[in-house]
């Protein structure tokens, strides 16, 4: 029976597709003994000092709202952190906004800058929220594909080709979810030149900045002359293993932060206070934990990539995040079929690449944020699964 209340829903929401991830979650969670490589979050629990600091803030009765933009103390600490880690200078008073995860910062950024019909270039395969966030803000996502041929790094020519008179912004994410691809300074600078030439805003999702394994991270805002047109988005979820705390931030020129804060003020008021106190401790004393987690991710990345290559998957070595994105084209299956059969036959959950955009077809996302014990077992099962295709 069709639920009559369907008619009450706004047309543009009815037209919005639910995320393909959801379907896989439903399938996988009905089964037992599944090893999941489908989780897009750290397997670590938040460092204890962070938990303890938040705990303490509650004990002390810090249970009220904070300033709309977030605790000034947290913004001050964040300002120092951004300067020290990424060599970008943002004023705590009017260039930083504490949000409910990077997710909210993405939403705010597009709502703040897009007029109806404005186009935003989205590099795919990409995180599942980008396209809906742009649409919900009244914008038009325009897809630019980053292909395996170039190690999933977007090519400046392809960006250039997608630009029209209506293009307002480019959205980039490096290191990337789901491919793990990371752009270096030169590659970022090439995008910067295009942005400058066409006067575009660059929304840079840098949530995996601290999980870059083989080279130092370059923030897009650190590219000369780019800070004035960059909305830097990041958060505490990945590097500090704080996904459930729902805390992120945006750093941008004053007028943009003001506009975002205006929306934030009326829709959210402020990010959760106890989470902000935890984040303060994370910024002050969390670096050792980050480094330890990062070392462990790097080792697991190396193990998974080399094992998948041994099994016979073409798989590039991703620079960062905690995902590998092997090609499954050799099996003749679609990524959906591959993921379903792997789950069904060997009880390993991966995410089919097409949920991250059309160009993700032919690949699956495997997250290596799970224990070595689980990973070695998962690799055994995948090897067994692949025997039928030889």
Partner 1 sequence: MEQKEIELLQILEKNGRLSTETIAKMMELTAEEVELMMKKLEEECTILGYSTLVNWAKVLKDERVTAMIEVKVTPTRGAGFDHVAERIYRFPEVKALYLMSGAYDLSITIEGQTMMEISRFVSDKLSTLDSVVSTVTHFVLKKYKHDGIVFDKRDDQDKRMMVTP
Ligand X SMILES: Cc1ncc(COP(=O)(O)O)c(C=O)c1O
Per CB under 8 A, which region of 40-48, 79-87, 258-266, 328-336 contacts partner 1? 40-48
**Considering the complex, what minimum distance in angstroms separates the CB of residue 171 from ligand X?**
10
Q: Which does 207 bind (CB under 5 to 8 A by kind): partner 1, ligand X, none?
A: ligand X
Residue entry with tokens 């950024």:
109
Q: Strand (E) positions, the chain?
A: 35-36, 96-99, 119-124, 140-145, 167-173, 201-205, 230-235, 248-251, 323-324, 348-349, 351-352, 364-367
Residue entry with tokens 């397997």:
43
- Which tokens hold the place of 112? 């703040």
SS3 content of the chain, % helix, strand, coil (to 5): 50, 15, 35
Residue 249 within binding range of ligand X, rule CB under 6 A: no
Beta strand pairing status for 96-99 and 35-36? unpaired
Instruction: Calculate the alpha carbon distances from 153 to 126, 144, 160, 209 in Å.
Output: 12, 11, 15, 16
Residue 269 within binding range of partner 1, rule CB under 8 A: no
**Considering the complex, what minimum distance in angstroms separates the CB of residue 375 from partner 1?**
9
How many whole angstroms separate alpha carbon 20 and alpha carbon 23? 6
- Which tokens hold the place of 288? 């050792």
How many whole angstroms separate alpha carbon 194 and alpha carbon 13? 33
Of the two residues 321 and 375, which places its CB atom closer to ligand X in the complex? 321
Residue 323 within binding range of ligand X, rule CB under 6 A: no
Of the two residues 270 and 386, which places its CB atom closer to ligand X in the complex? 270
Residue 46 within binding range of ligand X, rule CB under 6 A: no
Q: Exactly one of 106, 351, 364, 386 binds partner 1 (CB under 8 A); which one? A: 351
Of the two residues 228 and 292, which places its CB atom closer to partner 1 in the complex? 292
Peptide bond into 178 cis (omega under 30): yes
Residue 357 within binding range of ligand X, rule CB under 6 A: no
Per CB under 8 A, which region of 73-81, 163-171, 198-206, 299-307 contacts partner 1? 299-307
How many whole angstroms separate alpha carbon 325 and alpha carbon 363? 6
Residue 209 within binding range of ligand X, rule CB under 6 A: no
Residue 219 within binding range of ligand X, rule CB under 6 A: no
Q: Exactly one of 127, 236, 313, 325 binds partner 1 (CB under 8 A); which one? A: 127
The residue number whose beta carbon is nearest to ligand X equals 101
Residue 70 within binding range of ligand X, rule CB under 6 A: no
How many whole angstroms separate alpha carbon 183 and alpha carbon 294? 18
First to last CA, the chain: 45
Q: Exactly one of 83, 376, 384, 389 binds partner 1 (CB under 8 A); which one? A: 376
Output phi, psi for 245, to 5 deg: -80, -20
Residue 101 within binding range of ligand X, rule CB under 6 A: yes
Per CB under 6 A, which region of 87-95, 98-106, 193-201, 354-362 contacts ligand X? 98-106
Of the two residues 28 and 247, which places its CB atom closer to ligand X in the complex? 247
**Considering the complex, what minimum distance in angstroms separates the CB of residue 390 from ligand X?**
34
Query: By the criterion CB under 6 A, which residues form the site for ligand X?
Result: 40, 101-103, 127, 173, 177, 205, 207, 235, 237, 243, 248
């Amino acid at each position: 029976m069709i639920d009559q209340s369907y008619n009450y829903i706004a047309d543009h929401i009815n037209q919005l597709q639910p995320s393909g991830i959801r379907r896989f979650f439903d399938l996988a969670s009905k089964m037992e003994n599944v090893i999941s490589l489908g989780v897009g979050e750290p397997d670590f629990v938040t460092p204890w000092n962070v938990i303890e600091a938040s705990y303490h803030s509650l004990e002390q009765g810090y249970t009220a709202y904070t300033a709309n933009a977030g605790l000034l103390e947290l913004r001050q600490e964040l300002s120092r952190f951004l300067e020290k880690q990424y060599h970008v200078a943002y004023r705590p008073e009017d260039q930083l906004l504490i949000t409910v995860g990077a997710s909210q910062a993405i939403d705010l950024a597009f709502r703040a800058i897009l007029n109806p019909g404005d186009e935003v270039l989205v590099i795919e395969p990409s995180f599942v929220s980008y396209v809906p966030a742009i649409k919900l803000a009244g914008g038009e996502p325009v897809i630019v594909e980053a292909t395996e041929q170039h190690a999933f790094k977007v090519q400046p020519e392809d960006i250039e080709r997608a630009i029209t008179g209506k293009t307002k912004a480019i959205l980039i994410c490096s290191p990337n979810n789901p491919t793990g691809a990371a752009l270096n300074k030169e590659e970022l600078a090439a995008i910067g030149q295009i942005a400058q030439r066409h006067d575009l805003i660059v929304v840079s999702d840098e949530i995996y900045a601290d999980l870059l394994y083989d080279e130092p991270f370059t923030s897009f805002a650190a590219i000369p002359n780019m800070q004035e047109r960059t909305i830097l988005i990041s958060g505490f979820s990945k590097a500090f293993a704080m996904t459930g705390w729902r805390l992120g931030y945006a750093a941008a020129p004053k007028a943009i932060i003001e506009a975002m804060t205006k929306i934030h003020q009326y829709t959210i008021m402020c990010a959760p206070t106890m989470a902000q106190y935890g984040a303060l401790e994370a910024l002050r004393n969390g670096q050792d934990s980050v480094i330890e987690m990062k070392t462990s991710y790097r080792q697991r990345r190396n193990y998974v990539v080399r094992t998948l290559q041994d099994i016979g998957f073409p798989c590039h070595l991703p620079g960062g995040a905690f995902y590998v994105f092997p090609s499954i084209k050799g099996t003749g299956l679609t990524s959906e079929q591959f993921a379903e059969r792997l789950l069904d036959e060997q009880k390993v959950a991966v995410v089919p690449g097409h949920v991250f955009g059309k160009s993700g077809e032919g690949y699956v996302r495997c997250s290596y944020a799970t224990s070595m014990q689980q990973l070695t077992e998962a690799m055994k099962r995948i090897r067994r699964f692949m025997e039928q295709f030889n």
